[in-house]
Structure 1
């Protein structure tokens, strides 16, 4: 037997180049979620290494799938740090113990990290493992298949296609080049598959020498090439047009359905510990900042949900999303406009997860020994401009941030501007006393802005007190519904930023004006110097209201701190209102809460149950659909398995004569399934003659003689000769497939004629 000639090197080079091209397109698909250029190094490096491993393990002494797997693991460890974790290397390419640890852990944890990270994700430690590992494995598997035997080569497209699906699923809804990469991938894949199919048909003609049917198609070779090119062009144009007009308004990706790693609705509201900062750190420096604009404010937390006990954060399912924080890297994507500033922050006595920011951050870069841990656990909410780092800030920590700070408009600039319609969670409870107060002071003006300013003026006429021992007026802490009801029921209000900000926000919400409370720090005179130390007395709370064209505008409702007398210019008494019964006092009035005090999210269990029900429903539908498909396909699967089992039984017969005759039976059965007629009781030579008439250029006559000699010869056939005979059987059967149409091949695969033939033979012998 003559072994088939190896494929030309230029053909193998084309196969490898196609896999490289597909890997490049997959790499580009990761671009929007990563940004920058490092993902290109990781993805293209993984592509080159994967194809290199495949080339090395599909020839010579290293040939075999086990060697391919071993090669992928080796290059992943050797080159992974330099390409996927460059920050954990020496000189940019020498791996370190920490880098290897991050690389290996990244194979498991980087996938979820990428889904929960806020794009651009380039600055995240170990997230580049996703494109590097995806391209390394997919191109190694794809190239190994493409460079392997002809029958498996077309499957080389499958691994890169799966990698493209991964890149799309782990990407973003905003993909500017999706049409280009998708159409390009399809054209390259279809073109290569057509070329390999043509090459495979030519190879079968040469191997099986059953070319009577195929020779008729030789003259149409050029015509088929022209038709293939035309088909690819039409497919590209049609795909582009359909993709342009049929693209959904919102692209769905996995990150849309994956919950962020933390939800601040499960954490205590920092406003509940507002007075602790004034009580404990009145004259002690909390943070030192430099580079702040004069009228800017340092933001700690943005709160828009009132539970009746505290002003806190919405859950991630609410439209406002004030409690949904996403993992971010050194760079933060922001679409907010404003003055670009660079601010340096040093933590003095301040402690907590709330990271002081200004405006809308575009980057936060930690420094010092704790920088890696703080940076890797930095979370940001782009809707509110708030950041948290889960290890928590400690004295001595430092970081620099770049931000876009919107300039606060003057009141005159707001006249004529409409209040933006932004959906915020409805308060769980609003005291009747506050609703009555709003009816008196919030509905008497001609415009929404005038009502806002009038209520602000009324609140600023109240008395100020932190309730400390040094304050002349007593004032309870907290901002529960009972504390707010008591405050507005008095003729003169008494409180500090905590109470006045909550009263103002709830009053505005009663009028349908979206308002949120912000807690932060700023000096009373503004940031007048390059470096400012902020103490506990500089901790404030204020209210923000959104206006069209201006964004969220701050309003201060707290009276001046020197308003410490309850009879300071009292506002005019309102018109008598119907008496409203005050709600009963709680059994345990709320006490001062520590900054880290927690509160319950009563909807968490219900949300989890709804989510579980949804997943179970989709899983049930998927399982039902899969079961129906398997049921419909079961007859075809059974026939294919029976033929496979019969072929293996013949190939593995213990006696070499039986194994040789089994090969002949396999060839005859293949021909019968393709429609050949074998007379009952015919000898092997007669059967060979019938098959030769159907396939005149085949070697079926010689093969019949070989079987006769092997079966009736005194010496048992050699095992190597039997193996070579089975290879000839496979080639001749392949020629039968190649000389048949698709319909004939499908009919042969499902035919039971060969089983009926063997059943007749068994009955005749019996």
Structure 2
């Protein structure tokens, strides 16, 4: 077996190292712009990891003489294999190695992270794959920039525009940090000036060198260059700090994408919580819904705040904003553990409770006050935390996947400070933009005017409405044990009936809905809140909440105070009987009467029965266990990334060989044999000259082969094949198939012996290459 002389390792151009260093520094300045979105510095570790992986793979691929396609494939493989410890160590195996969850997160973050980050509440803590965004951005910029600095720029005259091409990636990364951040910039002046200074100095110093001068001339040029650099730095700082402030003053509000893109979540896709009020009082009255630990005596559990009324339902829409308040936030946003601060809340205390679900099954997340953090304790529930949406204006949290049996979460919340009526005498209602309350019955407007006739201030008018409803009305849930029927619902017809019947009869659903409409008719910002009011025994650490604890109340916003609660539901349940004497009638035979139909509408809201019966065994489909899916993902994804490119490149190389061997005239197919063998040697890492004769190419390649002949193989020679191809191409005679096969047999035999002699590593790399002939020696490493 013949031996091959080792090919010298390719060195990275000296000037490329400084280019890569500048590229990395500018990219790091761009990554720092993501600080306002993430809040802590976990993003910085991900960004640094992306820079290291992208730059390292690009440099290593150049040293190993890998082609562009193979380098990109190797970088993609390294992206998945090395990204877990930088982005999602908790999802990895032993915090370092990729798992199915971390591999999926690396793919999801690169694709969907750009859309998620502009719709999430800050700081961004969910979904779990969000740190992948700075990792992917830095990895891509570093990979492309390093490949340009090492492969493209050294082979061409160095001009300003060619050097500027390397700055495109860091500039895009810097802009991404601005557009995807928040109104508060992260050291914008310092980062901007540093970016400009580094970029301008690098562009000036990395231009093509002038003609060689003597020592005196070189010293003079160096002094001028240093003076020019100092002047450039001073001018950049002055222009950026002084002229920039005058020509482009700081705007009151920065342009960021999260303020321009509406959140995709729509609470109207779920039924109104208040529409199911009677389901709790009738169907679930004695059913344990959840257990609450840490609840204080008198505290209420908030379920949902409803601020939109269309004549049929009070529903959840969301506060559009608070005039003059920077804390106003609109709509439901995907949040992580940390919850955005609510507007219009004055709190002097915090409360921490732990809720464990049992019989409760809905999307609205119960809690106390206005939560600041939500921690899902169970590992299964932690995965569902990515579905948590929160409306900071209304204090309403939604778990879009639904709160399931066994879910446990701990919430720490700010509790609204309570005020006495005399403290609110001179306080006006707040200027809050709420959805319009439509189709308010006329009787509601009339009763609001009647009840508030002697009141002047907003608090006096609201207390007068509350007092009238509590003292003149009666409580009934429409149960069989109640003294008088009470129809469910709070649409315009039901509210009209509440006031037009001889006696006001209803429960929290009707009274809270009616008072909120009255307040709206007076142009007061009012909303209906539904929740639970369990009785907490003295000294109890936990309490079990059932459906009978459901309640509803009204909140009105006061300027500088917050949302003040009102409870208009009466406590009286015994409705007085009509005292008007009835005329005597002739006794009639007793006939069994049909049941009353007053409660028929209550049956409109019935519990949905889910058929849990199992299908026959013949309908069951075979499903793989979870460990099989996990093992398949851990092993299958890396194998696909490794074997997939090999199979594709192998198919392309096979197609290239068949076309050269079978298409065209005889002399063309003989020339194809020469092209095949020279391409094969180039793919094995040999220096194959270009633009010269076949004999010179054969001489150059043979000079790289050791002329020691083994007893079985003999010397590897290319000169006979070069002479054969030259004769076939230039003699002008018709070339028969026998000569074509002979040339191809010699070419493939030479290539096969070379492949078996270079060693396994170089032979493995050749499988990834698909190139035409290359001349590595033409690269000038001194530039």
Query: How far apart are 1:344 and its partner, in Å?
Result: 0.6
Counterparts of 1:425-436 in structure 2 under 5 Å?
Answer: 425-436=435-446
Query: How far apart are 1:368 and its partner, in Å?
Result: 2.7
| Counterpart residue number, 1:655 | none
Query: 1:280 and 1:727, CA in 2 relative to 1: closer, same or farther beyond 3 A?
Result: closer
| Counterpart residue number, 1:473 | 484
Matches of 2:310 and 2:393, distance apart in 1 = 21
The equivalent position to 1:449 in structure 2, one of 430, 445, 459, is 459
Q: Secondary structure at the match of 1:417?
A: coil
Counterparts of 1:254-293 in structure 2 under 5 Å?
Answer: 254-293=257-296
The answer on 1:144 being equivalent to 2:147 is: yes
Matches of 2:98 and 2:11, distance apart in 1 = 40
Matches of 1:157 and 1:182, distance apart in 2 = 14
The answer on 1:39 being equivalent to 2:50 is: no
Q: Secondary structure at the match of 2:433?
A: coil
The answer on 1:593 being equivalent to 2:594 is: no
Q: Secondary structure at the match of 2:375?
A: strand
Instruction: Please say if residues 319 and 329 of structure 2, whose CA atoms lie closer than 8 Å, have aligned partners that are also in contact.
Output: yes
Query: How far apart are 1:121 and its partner, in Å?
Result: 1.1
Matches of 2:39 and 2:329, distance apart in 1 = 25
262-271 or 521-530: which moved more?
521-530
| Counterpart residue number, 1:240 | 241
| Counterpart residue number, 1:18 | 22
Counterparts of 1:320-331 in structure 2 under 5 Å?
Answer: 324-331=331-338
Query: 1:66 and 1:116, CA in 2 relative to 1: closer, same or farther beyond 3 A?
Result: same
The answer on 1:29 being equivalent to 2:33 is: yes
Q: Which has the bigger relative contact order, CA under 8 A and spacing at least 6?
A: 2
Instruction: Please say if residues 263 and 332 of structure 2, whose CA atoms lie closer than 8 Å, have aligned partners that are also in contact.
Output: yes
Query: How far apart are 1:220 and its partner, in Å?
Result: 5.6
443-452 or 411-420: which moved more?
411-420
The equivalent position to 1:100 in structure 2, one of 79, 100, 103, is 103
Instruction: Please say if residues 320 and 329 of structure 2, whose CA atoms lie closer than 8 Å, have aligned partners that are also in contact.
Output: no
Instruction: Please say if residues 81 and 89 of structure 1, whose CA atoms lie closer than 8 Å, have aligned partners that are also in contact.
Output: yes
508-517 or 250-259: which moved more?
250-259
Query: 1:137 and 1:434, CA in 2 relative to 1: closer, same or farther beyond 3 A?
Result: same
396-405 or 131-140: which moved more?
396-405
Query: How far apart are 1:231 and its partner, in Å?
Result: 2.6
Query: 1:490 and 1:243, CA in 2 relative to 1: closer, same or farther beyond 3 A?
Result: farther
Counterparts of 1:678-757 in structure 2 under 5 Å?
Answer: none
Instruction: Please say if residues 463 and 566 of structure 1, whose CA atoms lie closer than 8 Å, have aligned partners that are also in contact.
Output: no
Query: 1:323 and 1:179, CA in 2 relative to 1: closer, same or farther beyond 3 A?
Result: closer
Matches of 1:727 and 1:110, distance apart in 2 = 40
Matches of 1:323 and 1:484, distance apart in 2 = 29
Matches of 1:292 and 1:190, distance apart in 2 = 61
Counterparts of 1:562-577 in structure 2 under 5 Å?
Answer: 562-566=572-576
Matches of 1:494 and 1:243, distance apart in 2 = 68
Matches of 1:316 and 1:532, distance apart in 2 = 32
Instruction: Please say if residues 68 and 140 of structure 1, whose CA atoms lie closer than 8 Å, have aligned partners that are also in contact.
Output: no
| Counterpart residue number, 1:759 | none
Post-superposition CA distance 1:175-201 (Å, at most 9, x none): 24233322322222222222212xx14
Counterparts of 1:335-354 in structure 2 under 5 Å?
Answer: 337-354=347-364
Q: Secondary structure at the match of 1:246?
A: coil
Instruction: Please say if residues 341 and 405 of structure 1, whose CA atoms lie closer than 8 Å, have aligned partners that are also in contact.
Output: yes
Matches of 1:279 and 1:590, distance apart in 2 = 10
Query: How far apart are 1:405 and its partner, in Å?
Result: 1.9
Instruction: Please say if residues 12 and 150 of structure 2, whose CA atoms lie closer than 8 Å, have aligned partners that are also in contact.
Output: no
| Counterpart residue number, 1:415 | 425
331-340 or 130-139: which moved more?
331-340
Matches of 1:492 and 1:176, distance apart in 2 = 63
| Counterpart residue number, 1:400 | 410
Query: How far apart are 1:6 and its partner, in Å?
Result: 8.7
Query: How far apart are 1:22 and its partner, in Å?
Result: 1.6
Instruction: Please say if residues 289 and 533 of structure 1, whose CA atoms lie closer than 8 Å, have aligned partners that are also in contact.
Output: yes
The answer on 1:543 being equivalent to 2:546 is: no
Instruction: Please say if residues 273 and 595 of structure 1, whose CA atoms lie closer than 8 Å, have aligned partners that are also in contact.
Output: no
Q: Secondary structure at the match of 1:392?
A: coil
Instruction: Please say if residues 32 and 186 of structure 2, whose CA atoms lie closer than 8 Å, have aligned partners that are also in contact.
Output: no
Query: How far apart are 1:303 and its partner, in Å?
Result: 0.4
Query: 1:456 and 1:175, CA in 2 relative to 1: closer, same or farther beyond 3 A?
Result: same
Counterparts of 1:300-339 in structure 2 under 5 Å?
Answer: 300-314=303-317, 324-334=331-341, 337-339=347-349
Query: How far apart are 1:342 and its partner, in Å?
Result: 2.1
Query: How far apart are 1:167 and its partner, in Å?
Result: 2.1
Which ranges in structure 1 are unaligned for 5 or more consecutive residues? 569-587, 598-658, 661-722, 729-733, 735-766
Matches of 1:533 and 1:241, distance apart in 2 = 64
The equivalent position to 2:173 in structure 1, one of 151, 163, 180, is 163
Query: 1:367 and 1:6, CA in 2 relative to 1: closer, same or farther beyond 3 A?
Result: closer
Instruction: Please say if residues 318 and 394 of structure 2, whose CA atoms lie closer than 8 Å, have aligned partners that are also in contact.
Output: no
Query: How far apart are 1:140 and its partner, in Å?
Result: 2.0
Matches of 1:340 and 1:243, distance apart in 2 = 45
Instruction: Please say if residues 126 and 386 of structure 2, whose CA atoms lie closer than 8 Å, have aligned partners that are also in contact.
Output: no
Instruction: Please say if residues 36 and 122 of structure 1, whose CA atoms lie closer than 8 Å, have aligned partners that are also in contact.
Output: no
Instruction: Please say if residues 263 and 323 of structure 1, whose CA atoms lie closer than 8 Å, have aligned partners that are also in contact.
Output: no
Query: How far apart are 1:351 and its partner, in Å?
Result: 0.4
Instruction: Please say if residues 305 and 424 of structure 1, whose CA atoms lie closer than 8 Å, have aligned partners that are also in contact.
Output: yes
Query: 1:387 and 1:184, CA in 2 relative to 1: closer, same or farther beyond 3 A?
Result: same
Query: 1:240 and 1:322, CA in 2 relative to 1: closer, same or farther beyond 3 A?
Result: closer
Query: How far apart are 1:14 and its partner, in Å?
Result: 3.1
Post-superposition CA distance 1:442-494 (Å, at most 9, x none): 24212111111111100111111111112111111111111111112235311
| Counterpart residue number, 2:613 | none
The equivalent position to 2:79 in structure 1, one of 76, 79, 93, is 76
Instruction: Please say if residues 326 and 380 of structure 1, whose CA atoms lie closer than 8 Å, have aligned partners that are also in contact.
Output: yes
| TM-score w.r.t. length of structure 2 | 0.67
The equivalent position to 2:128 in structure 1, one of 125, 130, 134, is 125
217-226 or 14-23: which moved more?
217-226
Query: How far apart are 1:126 and its partner, in Å?
Result: 0.7
149-158 or 17-26: which moved more?
149-158
Query: How far apart are 1:389 and its partner, in Å?
Result: 1.0
Query: How far apart are 1:429 and its partner, in Å?
Result: 1.1
| Counterpart residue number, 1:57 | 61
| TM-score w.r.t. length of structure 1 | 0.69
The answer on 1:556 being equivalent to 2:563 is: no
Q: Secondary structure at the match of 1:344?
A: strand
Query: How far apart are 1:163 and its partner, in Å?
Result: 1.4
Instruction: Please say if residues 322 and 383 of structure 1, whose CA atoms lie closer than 8 Å, have aligned partners that are also in contact.
Output: yes
Matches of 1:415 and 1:316, distance apart in 2 = 25
Counterparts of 1:139-218 in structure 2 under 5 Å?
Answer: 139-148=142-151, 149-150=153-154, 151=158, 152-197=162-207, 200-202=208-210, 205=211
Post-superposition CA distance 1:103-148 (Å, at most 9, x none): 2233222222222221111353111111110011112222333344
Aligned residues: 570
| Counterpart residue number, 2:113 | 110
Counterparts of 1:635-646 in structure 2 under 5 Å?
Answer: none
Which ranges in structure 2 are unaligned for 5 or more consecutive residues? 1-9, 579-599, 610-690, 693-774
Instruction: Please say if residues 19 and 51 of structure 1, whose CA atoms lie closer than 8 Å, have aligned partners that are also in contact.
Output: no
The equivalent position to 2:297 in structure 1, one of 294, 299, 320, is 294
CA-based RMSD of the aligned residues comes to: 3.3
Matches of 1:518 and 1:549, distance apart in 2 = 20
| Counterpart residue number, 1:225 | 226
Query: How far apart are 1:334 and its partner, in Å?
Result: 2.1
